[in-house]
Amino acid sequence: RKEVEQDPGPFNVPEGATVAFNCTYSNSASQSFFWYRQDCRKEPKLLMSVYSSGNEDGRFTAQLNRASQYISLLIRDSKLSDSATYLCVVNTNAGKSTFGDGTTLTVKP
């Protein structure tokens, strides 16, 4: 079993749709959680950190459930510019990072 598993996708949605991505992790010692965005053939960039209390940044909401070892990302009112691959990242306290394989989102007009 992979340490970090994401919905395989791809997700193809119309503009304005709401879409949710899920991610599970197996290491209960994991300390920090993130969603990164990666555009085609580019480097990943931080989208948002994920906190136990949940956090929101505009149209994006991230949730963490430590008991179930589960992370989610919700995108509301999808825009064409949201088309990208979304990577779930889990860090241990020692600084080691584990990336999921990513979920690809295509938003269509």
List residues near another protein by CB under 8 A.
4, 6, 31-32, 34, 41-46, 49, 87, 89, 91-102
**Nearest residue to 20 via CA among 1, 35, 32:** 35
76 or 99: CB nearest another protein: 99
- β-strand pairing of 32-38 with 84-91: antiparallel
Q: Which is nearer to another protein, 43 or 68 (CB)?
A: 43
The CB-of-13 to another protein minimum distance in angstroms stands at: 20
C-beta of 25: minimal distance to another protein in Å? 13
Residue 78 has phi, psi (to 5 degrees) of -55, 140
Between CA 109 and CA 13 the distance in angstroms is: 9
Residue with smaller CB distance to another protein, 15 or 66: 66
